[in-house]
Homo-oligomer: A and B are copies of this chain.
Amino acid sequence: MTSNANIVYLDNNATTRVDPAVRDAMLPYLSESYANPSSPYTFARAPMLAIAQARRQVAALLSAEPEQITFTSCGTESSNTALHSALRARPGRKSIVTTSVEHPSILRYCERLESHGYNVTYLPVDRNGQLVLKELELSISDDTAIVSVMWANNETGILFPVREAAAAAHCAGALFHTDAVQACGKVTIDLSDGLIDLLSLSAHKFHGPKGVGALFARDPDLLSSYLFGGEQERGRRAGTENVPGIAGIGKAAELAGAQLREHPADIAEMRDAFEQTLSGACSCLLTGTQGARLPNTSHIVFPGVEAETLIHLLDFDHICCSSGSACASGSSEPSHVLTAMGFSRQDARSALRVSFSRFNSSHDAEFAAGRVVEAARRLSGKHRC
């Protein structure tokens, strides 16, 4: 195993380091406190209380109520459940509106719905990766059951106007879901205004463990369990509760909230310094800088450079970053997000995603910037890339 001490991990939109405090919060439920939370004896009380506490912690991160939070196994399950529930809550409606740059957990589910007779509108984005609100409004009708627009794009970090999109959905009596898997823990999410009906999140994107997600529902009675079985999570998610994972997502939410309150600018400062070094030394193109974007994400196109090779060169220096969404890794197809933004297939293959977290230092940003510049120069065959 590569020693962790050498690693400069800049792929925090793929997954994140589990915070040691999160791991410590999980350990009792991987050790002495192993009962099922619903069991009829005192020994089950600690896991039951751990779940209640985690529900409060996740709710607090979203300025929501604990009963609005249902735990799942991942962001994908949360998003699948959101769409599944919305279609049951609006049974007469046969249309879905979403964007062409959503995560596969939305896109693949929508394709499946199409094969079952639903009409799905995949809205384009403009050259800056942004949704055109007017187009969204025009695409919603009284046949629309649900509008699903991500809070932040996982590849570019671009933030979407989810409140305005939710308002447009509600005007037509449709529900609104947002995949906030990439946004949660990176920007403040305040659901107290009641505009968002359904929101997905995943622990491992904000220093929690893999294998646990959550689904916010403004009206929890709206949810239909996507898995069929026992009555766990008040009948809203069948399957024995993943108590250590749930304790972990709770602690991770608490820590993410503290980071956003106490050090709101730290991560953006690292990212900005990284980009400044790059811009000064390269003719590269920074994506998404025209509008609001995640404070931790840098998305850069190096014309003429194969991003896959760039990533391999950076790997020699133990720098971890990505050419697109983790889910598409290993695929040779260019990113659907970049092609939707109008990039050529060639340019779409030249994009690097560098994503920071609170476990990075300004030294990481500086070191990585230097290496990226050097590698990009080498690959473009130019003295200056």
Min CB gap A244→B, angstroms: 6
Are A209 and B244 closer than 8 Å at their CB atoms?
yes
Interface flag for A31 (CB, 8 Å): yes
Which B residue's beta carbon lies closest to that of A359? B34
Interface flag for A139 (CB, 8 Å): no
Which B residue's beta carbon lies closest to that of A8? B43
A242 to chain B: which residues have CB within 8 Å?
Answer: 73-74, 209-211, 245
A99 to chain B: which residues have CB within 8 Å?
Answer: none
Given the interface pairs A4-B33, A77-B239, the reply to whether A41 lies near B227 with Cβ below 8 Å is no
Given the interface pairs A73-B77, A74-B239, A212-B211, the reply to whether A41 lies near B231 with Cβ below 8 Å is no
Of B308, B314, B330, which one neighbours A38 at CB under 8 angstroms? B330
Are B7 and A229 closer than 8 Å at their CB atoms?
no
Are A18 and B30 closer than 8 Å at their CB atoms?
yes
Are B318 and A76 closer than 8 Å at their CB atoms?
no
Q: How many residues of A contact B (CB 8 A)?
A: 84
Contact with B along A233-265 (1 / 0, CB 8 A): 000001111111100000000000000000000
With A and B bound together, what is the CA distance between A291 and B41 in angstroms? 31
Interface centre among A44, A228, A231, A311 (most CB of B within 10 A): A228
Stretch at the interface among A105-113, A130-138, A183-191: A105-113
Given contacts A15-B34, A80-B227, 13 further A-B contacts (CB under 8 A): A1-B33, A14-B35, A15-B36, A18-B34, A23-B31, A39-B322, A40-B308, A40-B312, A40-B323, A73-B77, A103-B229, A204-B240, A209-B244
